[in-house]
Amino acid sequence: MNKQAALLLAAVLPCLAGCATLSTQSADTSGRAIDPASIPQSLKQPCNQVVDLPARELLSAETARLWGRDRASLGECGRRHGALVKAIEAVEGQGRKGPV
C-alpha cells in the first residue's frame, strides 16, 4: 500500500467507525437520550370473564348482584384498555417532535 492510500485510510476509518455509533442513536436530535418506556403489567392483564350463571332461575337480588359484578368488571376493563392505548401511543410517539 502506498503512502497516499495509507493516509486516506487513516482519515476515513475514524469517520466510518463514527457512522456505526450514530446509526444506533434515537431520532431525537436534541442530543439527549430517550429512555424506552415500559407499559405497566397491570394494563396487560386480561379482562375478567362474565359471571357464571347457575342452571336455575335467579332471584331478583341475585340478578342485580351478578349484573353489578359484570358491569364493574366491564368498566374496569374499559379503563385499563384506555390506559393501555395511551401507553402504546406514548411509546410509539417517542422521539417525535410534536403531535402526529
Domain map of the chain by residue range?
A: 39-95
Question: Alpha-carbon distance 9 to 3, whole Å?
Answer: 10
Question: Alpha-carbon distance 83 to 60, whole Å?
Answer: 35
- What is the pTM (predicted TM-score) of this model? 0.53
Q: What is the pLDDT of residues 63-76, one digit of tens each?
A: 999 999 999 999 99
Question: Alpha-carbon distance 87 to 28, whole Å?
Answer: 19
Q: How far apart are the first and last CA of the chain?
A: 53
Q: What is the pLDDT of residues 87-99, one digit of tens each?
A: 888 888 876 666 6
pLDDT band at 36 (very low <50, low <70, confident <90, very high): low
Collect all residues with Cβ–Cβ distance below 8 Å to 77 and sequence separation of at least 6: 47, 48
Res 38: pLDDT = 79
CA distances from 32 to 18, 27, 42, 95, 97 (A): 18, 10, 30, 10, 13
**What is the residue-averaged pLDDT of the chain?**
75
